[in-house]
A and B are shown apart, each in its own frame.
Chain A
């Protein structure tokens, strides 16, 4: 099956700085890559996703890039705010999306 690796496992940034989280995947058939934010005590929530036919997608302060050749994708958060502090998960899926493979998570702390 698919194997998704995520780095770093923890990340601390000063408020206003940018944060980057990187993921790699192993199966070239994967074609959908969502990112989830998990706040303490809650379930993961989709924040942005990208399809394999797109190289980059932005939504306000959040962007995701995808390099199909290298099989990696990244989450970029600009102008970080304390409320961005959470655990972030990348994931990959293929085909009709019945199975999702998650990274191991990145705990982001934004220091005021």
Chain B
């Protein structure tokens, strides 16, 4: 089944304790992206990657890191989480070419709470 998977689905942690949220897709998509969803703010893009070793900042990259060492994986790293990073996080992927019209597929989400 074609899908985007995220782990963990739920995570409660404390301020300053480094964590990684994994994202994997099995559709051979070049493009992957991370979003956070907060009430009243919709989805906001954190980072995106057009291909292996190519990443760039989205609208709200502060406090986050990403890496793209393999085409299928795009982990989101919070090196020193803070309570304002408590949110629902989504990973997404799509075919990337010169056309922007390829459908973006979202994972099921990771609910992160930072105490």
Contact = CB atoms under 8 A, between A and B. Distances in A.
B106 A44 contact: yes
Contact of B48 (A4, A36, A98, A104): A98
A74 interface: no
A6 interface: yes
A34 B50 CA distance: 19
B40 A98 contact: no
Interface residues of A, number: 31
A55 B103 CA distance: 20
Of A36, A95, A100, A104, most buried by chain B (CB within 10 Å of CB) is A100
Contact of A99 (B45, B99, B101, B107): B45
B59 interface: yes
A46 B4 CA distance: 14
A43 B42 contact: no
A89 B101 contact: no
B90 interface: yes
Closest 9 CB pairs of A and B: A97-B100, A43-B106, A102-B43, A104-B42, A102-B42, A32-B100, A44-B106, A46-B103, A105-B42
Interface of B: 4, 31, 33, 35, 40-45, 48, 50, 56, 58-59, 90, 92, 96, 98-104, 106-109
29 contacts: A6-B42, A9-B40, A32-B101, A34-B104, A36-B106, A42-B109, A43-B90, A43-B92, A43-B108, A44-B90, A46-B103, A46-B104, A89-B42, A89-B43, A91-B43, A95-B100, A98-B48, A99-B58, A99-B59, A100-B33, A100-B45, A100-B104, A101-B45, A101-B59, A102-B35, A102-B42, A103-B42, A104-B41, A105-B42
